[in-house]
Amino acid sequence: MKKFLASTVAASALALMLGMTSARAEETIDPNARQGGEIIATYKDDVTTLDPAIGYDWQNWSMIKSLFDGLMDYEPGTTNLKPDLAESYEISPDGKTFTFKLRHGVKFHNGREMTADDVKYSLDRVTNPKTQSPGAGFFGSIKGYDDVAAGKAEGLSGVTVVDPYTVKFELTRPDATFLHVMAINFSHVVPKEEVEKYGADFGKHPVGTGAFKLAEWTLGQRIVFERNPDYWHKGLPHLDKITFEVGQEPIVALLRLQKGEIDLPLDGIPPAKFQEVMADPEQKARVVEGGQLHTGYVTMNTTMAPFDNVKVRQAVNMALNKARIIQIINGRAVPANQPLPPSMPGYDKAYKGYPYDVAKAKALLAEAGHPDGFETQLFAMNTDPNPRIAQAIQQDLAAIGIKASIQSLAQANVIAAGGDKAGAPMIWSGGMGWIADFPDPSNFYGPILGCAGAVPGGWNWSWYCNKELDAKAAEADSIVDPAKAGERSKMWSDIYAKIMVDAPWAPVFNEQRFTMKSARMGGADNLYVDPVHVPINYDNVYVKDVQ
Amino acid sequence: MIAYLGRRLIQSLLILLGVSLITFALLYLLPADPVRQIAGRSATPQTVENIRQQLGLDQPFVVQYWHYLVKLVGGDLGRSYIQRSEVTELIVSRLPASLLLMVGAILCELLIGLSMGLIAAVKRGTATDQTLMVASFVGVSAPQFVVGLLLLYVFAVRLSWFPIGGYGTWRHLVLPSLTMGILGAGWYARMMRSSMIDVLRQDYVRTARAKGLARGAIIFRHALPNAILPVIAMIGIDIGIFMGGIVVVESVFGWPGIGQLAWQAIQRVDIPIIMGVTLVSAFAIVLGNLLADIIAPFIDPRIKLR
């Protein structure tokens, strides 16, 4: 599955850029799919908002994708880009102008047709500081972004409505990730009249062009989605109705699934029950395993002694017994040796990483002038299993003489310590680890390993800033030419290999996702561990007990 | 009486003001930055500053607190940072569920606690008495999270008598009420027992017995009504314990009340919601205590309000 993903991504990106058509969108419908039926899915946490400019949670991410559409999307269950609300697009030879032709006859849930004006309005809105969108930063390459962000302009000068079905984007630099940015939730299209009608409460009254529309929202209890009969993508969605019940602890959700009361417990299988479920063949058969665009890592503050010495950081990389750490989470991960996860384009399969070698690690520490080790602090989030993982790391470090005291804190406090230059020598990223916003290697660099993120309040917790790599990253992202997609991917692999020489992180593992479903749920396995429509792709799954 | 009420009301307002000040100060001193929670990990420093300014979080503490108080007096608890909805709306939509749970819990604890205490007092010194007192001790000390899961497993999963979590019908209410009620039942059993033993020693009970009244009649007609009064007066004070309990119990049972709302808000540093729920809870506790004190003299004439 992982190999399949990695190889097809590069190929399809290439084909897509050359072809620039959307003929394949219609091919994605499963011929075995049945139409109709209702399901119940559960989440622990309440859904905060369904506004695509604001929602950035586990619960609402895929819900928003089902209520709204963007110019681009991915083929279900894969990381392969495809046009969505766009029918086709063109990229100028210099990679700085993207022109999208829109589909005709796409309607919002309120019945009005979606046009290029709506696309422009949606982007002006998401970048406007008044919207307070957590995703505004993704649009930094669009001309005029800086003026909008600074409050000097109301709209993006780089977005032009050519005619009702054509919209043109001018960028300040060639941006190879731009098509991904046009697929991310924050760029999804909203109707101006509804946003203005509800104001700040639009997130509770979402109106989009998506496969489902909101039928009911009882705060703190349930959200009900109903099939959008006018959905432009004929044949989708398969389900008539999805009821999301919120406030359900994962353990309670699992018990209800076992009793046949619900179909999808979407917070996954609780760790305490994992082995029990996997030991039962009937239940195990209903568990779908998949990779996700996630890496768990230990950051080392490169501006703080003794982690300012590269040998110390390399020693830590060699000290960690990753296989044992993975046992703590019941084997629900694969060991990581580089920042990128295996299902991400640019992941280097040939790269071996630092071996687990205690003797060598001790030798490196001695070379760095710490033959007897030193004392330091390891920050970690205080929810299970992170304190247990931190303890395992603590023991591994003790084996080479590093005495790390664990600072187990609430998520927000760990994030605050990481964003303070003198805050945290080491952080275990669990519970806060990077999950890519879109399947492109660049997404693991800028905010968490690039100089831009090494600022107070940033996410580059190792405060690693390598100007040379920053330049290389910018160079790689300027390769928009489809014929050079492979070259770009290779450049990114090199960047991450160089990062690993400097070792600001000790990558520990890539979490696997396990989605459990009821026996009546149908559809390809990869829909249940969709790498982009996280956690699952609601539009394409179906139930087998109808018709 | 009027003077007493006036004094107590002023006291209550001062308590609420104090609670708001302390909570606000604690949240202000928290090292976690709410703006970064809102801005997300992709935000540029400029976006972060923009948001900070818009929310007024760049202002000094005194100014921020003053603005909060001014809005509070107008009944405005602000908007949630993460959900972007009115806090008042969020709390109002969840309050009925919490109140229902509280009523259920009070019924459970009275029913269980009072009967246990009554039986223990009547059977004083016997094995029954000791067993009941040990049981009440277990009830008081058992963590609600464990009790909740245990009840769920036995009565919902194994026996299918009740639904596994959720909200809507009376059947959904039973297990969470029981979970909350068991804690209070322990206390009530002990209070009821000593109160009943006290009453059973009184002269009028002895007189009744000497008259040859049946044992049941003595206990239920003469002793119980007098023994129960001081215990009932405790309900108002219980509200404080409930407010602490609902956070756990509502999470276990997926009960859509304000405890669950508070728990989720705390995890996300959603300050307006945390403030709102704290103030509403404090209000409920203050009100409960006030009512308990006002009712007390009616129940027990020995108590005088001064």
pLDDT at B201: 85
Which amino acid, one-letter code, is at A475? Answer: E
Is the model more confident about A216 or about B37?
Answer: A216
Write out chain A residues lying below 8 Å of B264, CB-based. 45-46
All structural domains of chain B, each given as residue ranges with its CATH number in brackets, are 2-73 (no CATH), 96-299 (1.10.3720.10)
Which A-chain residues 149-188 have CB contacts (< 8 A) with chain B?
149-151
A105: left (phi over 0), alpha (psi -120 to 50) or beta: left
Q: Report DSSP state, residue B42.
A: T
Inter-chain residue contact B32 with A137, CB threshold 8 Å? no
* Dist. CA A39–CA A528, nearest whole Å: 14
- CA pair distance A322, B272, nearest whole angstrom: 41
Summarize the confidence of residues A337-359 as an average pLDDT.
Answer: 93
In angstroms, what CA-CA distances link A510 with A340, A386, A507? 9, 14, 9
A54-A56-A62-A66 Cα dihedral, nearest 10 degrees: 0
The answer on pLDDT for B96 being more than 60 is yes
Residues 228-257 of A with CB under 8 A from B: 245-249, 251-252, 255-256
Residue of A nearest to B269 (CA): A412
What sign for the dihedral angle of Cα A484, A487, A489, A495? negative
Contact present, A160 and A167 (Cβ < 8 Å): yes
Which band of pLDDT confidence, cut at 50, 70 and 90, is reported for residue B157?
confident
Cβ-contact A517, A264 below 8 angstroms? yes
Answer for the pair A161, B69: CB distance below 8 angstroms, yes or no.
no
Long-range contacts (CB closer than 8 Å, 24 or more residues apart) made by A112-117: A112/A191, A112/A193, A114/A85, A114/A189, A114/A191, A114/A209, A115/A164, A115/A165, A116/A161, A116/A162, A116/A163, A116/A164, A116/A165, A116/A166, A116/A167, A117/A161, A117/A164, A117/A192
Inter-chain CB proximity B260 and A151 less than 8 Å: no
Please list every residue in chain B whose beta carbon sits closer than 8 Å to the beta carbon of residue A219: 89-90, 93-94, 256
How far B85 CA sits from the closest chain A CA (Å)?
A: 6
> Quick check: A49 and B84 CB within 8 A?
yes
CA distance A385 to A327: 11
| Range B168-183 average pLDDT | 89
Residue A240 or B156, more confident? A240
Contact flag B254-A252 (C-beta cutoff 8 Å) = yes
Cβ A268 vs Cβ A515: under 8 Å = yes
> Which residue of B lies nearest to A460 if distances are taken between CA atoms?
B41
Q: How far is residue B91's CA from residue B259's CA, in Å, rounded to a whole number?
A: 10
Q: Is A216 on the interface with B (CB under 8 A)?
A: no
- pLDDT tens for residues A292-311? 889 999 999 999 989 999 99
Asked if A249's CB is within 8 angstroms of B251's CB, the reply is yes
Residues A500, A293: Cα–Cα separation, whole Å: 19
Question: DSSP string spanning A450-482?
Answer: SGGGSSTT-S-TT----HHHHHHHHHHHT---G
Q: Which of A406, A404, A416 is nearest to A373 (CA)?
A: A404
Cβ contact (<8 Å) for A415 and B79? no
CA A121 to chain B, closest CA, distance in angstroms equals 19
Burial class (CB in 10 A: 0-12, 13-18, 19+), B107: middle
A272 touches chain B (CB under 8 A): no
Q: What are phi and psi for residue A335, nearest 5 degrees?
A: -65, 145
Helix (H) or strand (E) holding A212: strand A212-218
Contact A201 B84 (CB under 8 A): yes
Q: What percent of chain A has pLDDT over 90?
A: 73
Residue that has been written with the tokens 């519970």 in this structure: A431
Task: Convert the pLDDT of each residue in A20-78 to its tens digit.
Answer: 433 344 456 888 899 999 999 999 888 989 999 999 888 999 999 999 999 999 999 98
Secondary structure element (H or E) that encloses residue A243, with its range? strand A241-246
Q: Nearest Cβ partner of B43 from A49, A134, A150?
A: A134
Q: What is the mean pLDDT of chain A?
A: 90
Positive or negative CA dihedral for A70, A75, A81, A85?
Answer: negative
Residue A24, pLDDT score = 41
Tell me the average pLDDT across A461-478: 94
Tokens found for residue A218 = 């009882």
Confidence of residue A3 (pLDDT cuts 50, 70, 90): very low
Distance separating alpha carbons of residues B227 and B194, to the nearest angstrom = 9
**What integer pLDDT is reported at residue A17 of this predicted model?**
44
How far B264 CA lies from chain A's nearest CA (Å)?
A: 7
Do strands A287-291 and A403-409 pair parallel, antiparallel, or not at all (unpaired)?
unpaired
Residues A265, A60 contacting (CB under 8 angstroms): no
Test A129 with B40 for CB contact under 8 angstroms: no
Distance CA A518, CA A260 (A): 7
**Cα gap B123→B193, rounded to integer Å:** 10
Q: What is the DSSP letter of B142?
A: S
DSSP run (H or E) holding A516: strand A505-516
Query: How many Cβ atoms from other residues are within 10 Å of residue A357's Cβ?
Result: 15
Give the residue from chain B lying closest to A218, CA to CA.
B93
Chain A residues closer than 8 Å to B269 by CB: 412
Across the interface, do B46 and A150 touch by the CB < 8 Å criterion?
Answer: yes
Q: Residue B59's Cα: distance from chain center in Å?
A: 35
Position A225 scores a pLDDT of 98
Task: Show Cβ contacts of residue B246 under 8 Å, excluding neighbours closer than 6 positions.
Answer: B98, B101, B102, B180, B255, B257, B258, B259
Instruction: With beta carbons under 8 A apart, name residues in chain A contacting B34.
Output: 412
For B188-244, how does the pLDDT look when each residue is reduced to its tens digit (9 = 90+)?
888 888 888 888 888 888 888 888 888 888 888 778 877 887 777 777 777 777 888
Output the CA–CA distances (angstroms, integers) from residue A476 to A26, A346, A351, B145, in the order listed: 32, 12, 20, 52
Inter-chain contacts counted by CB atoms under 8 A, chains A and B: 146
Q: Supply the pLDDT for residue B21.
A: 94
Of A251, A416, A456, the CB nearest to B32: A416
A135 contacts B48? CB cut-off 8 A: no
Q: Work out the pLDDT band at A13, boundaries 50, 70, 90.
A: very low
Nearest CA to CA, how far is A144 from chain B (Å)?
A: 15
If residue A521 lies in a helix (H) or strand (E), which one and from where to where?
strand A521-522
From chain A, pick out residues whose CB is under 8 angstroms from the CB of B31. 413, 416-417
What gap in Å lies between CA B272 and CA B38, rounded to an integer?
A: 13
The nearest alpha carbon in chain A to B80 belongs to A48
Query: A14-28, B2-16, B18-32, B36-50: which has the minimum mean pLDDT?
Result: A14-28
Question: Would you tell me how many other CB atoms lie within 10 Å of the CB of residue A337?
Answer: 18
Measured from the Cβ of residue B169, the count of other Cβ atoms closer than 10 Å reads 10
Phi-psi region of A247 (alpha: psi -120 to 50; beta: other; left: phi over 0): left
pLDDT of res. A27: 52
DSSP string across A490-503:
HHHHHHHHHHHHH-
d(CA A245, CA A222): 4
Q: Is A413 on the interface with B (CB under 8 A)?
A: yes
Token pair 């309900």: residue = B235
pLDDT digits (tens, 9 = 90+) for A314-344: 999 999 999 999 999 889 999 999 999 998 8
| Yes or no, beta carbons of A132 and B82 under 8 Å apart | no
Question: What average pLDDT does this structure show over A397-407?
Answer: 96
CB contact under 8 A, A130 and B54: yes
**Longest Cα–Cα distance in chain A:** 73
Quick one: angle between helices A485-502 and A2-19, nearest 10? 130
Q: Tell me the per-residue pLDDT of A149-206, one tens digit each, with 9 for 90 and over.
A: 888 999 999 999 999 999 999 999 999 999 999 999 999 999 999 999 999 899 999 9
**Is A256 close to B165, i.e. CB distance below 8 A?**
yes
Secondary-structure breakdown of chain A: helix, strand, coil percentages, each rounded to the nearest 5: 35, 20, 45
pLDDT the model gives residue A371 = 94
Please answer yes or no on whether B36 and A204 come within 8 Å at the CB atom.
no
**SS3 assignment for A121-146:** HHHHHHHCHHHCCCCHHHHCCECCHH
Q: CA A49 to CA A57: how far, in whole Å?
A: 9
> Searching chain A, which residue's CA lies closest to the CA of residue B42?
A137
Average pLDDT taken over every residue of chain B: 86
Task: List chain B residues with CB under 8 Å of A245.
Answer: 166, 254
- pLDDT tens digits, one per residue of B31-71: 777 887 777 777 777 778 888 888 888 899 999 999 999 99
Q: What is the pLDDT of residue B306?
A: 63
